[in-house]
Copies of this chain bind each other. A is one copy, B any other.
């Protein structure tokens, strides 16, 4: 197998599509958001990207094995712009893999005529969130102006550590190709899978791209997570003396 291997499964015509990326990351915000789009909207699997930089692994779905990959689905909704949704269970295992996979993802995007990319993710705040702001970063100032109108928050020099992984590189490498790209980062504690943060990100994207989805299933999942949080807090109060933040572990 090649270092980066693109499998073509279908080749529908898309009209001025946007690329929406949601791979695993902080709070699984991007992954939840991308998967929610695919659950709520009709889609067609068009590409799989394999790589020797993914873990040497297959997942078992029912009885058969699927080699580690990232998947592109084409979405042509009745309302709003066409989308190419990039999702998957893996990130690259090393720095060269991150760069090479992002280039492969942008190649697929350009094949379908993509000129605009949205990388979805979470930004960890270290504390439980009440109001879910969605932070932004872009390749151009003009795009930032547009996104601010849709409610995206830009804070100077945030996130402080920059943006790591495919989401960051879609901006870095996309920008060098003159593709307009933005990262939409839902605030999230960083301790828990966070469907509410995913919803906040999708609501912004919905405003920009114009699709129409229902959030009931995300809200249900958010209720489940809140139940988990409530139980953890109860346990903390019982073990009272030091109900320290450190007791909150990542629960996925």
Binding site for B on A (CB under 8 A): 1, 3, 7, 50, 52-68, 92-96, 98-100, 102-103, 136-141, 144, 154, 156-159, 162-166, 168-169, 171-173, 175-176, 183
Residues in B whose Cβ lies below 8 Å from that of A173: 1, 67
Give CA–CA (A100, B5) in the complex, Å: 13
Residues in B whose Cβ lies below 8 Å from that of A138: 63-65
Which residue of the partner chain B has the closest CB to A165?
B56
Pairwise interchain contact A52-B162, C-beta atoms closer than 8 A = no
Which residue of the partner chain B has the closest CB to A61?
B157
Contact A163 B95, CB 8 Å, known A56-B169, A158-B60: no
Partner of A60, one of B66, B103, B162, B176: B162
Partner of A162, one of B7, B59, B175, B183: B59
Contact A60 B95, CB 8 Å, known A173-B1, A176-B1: no
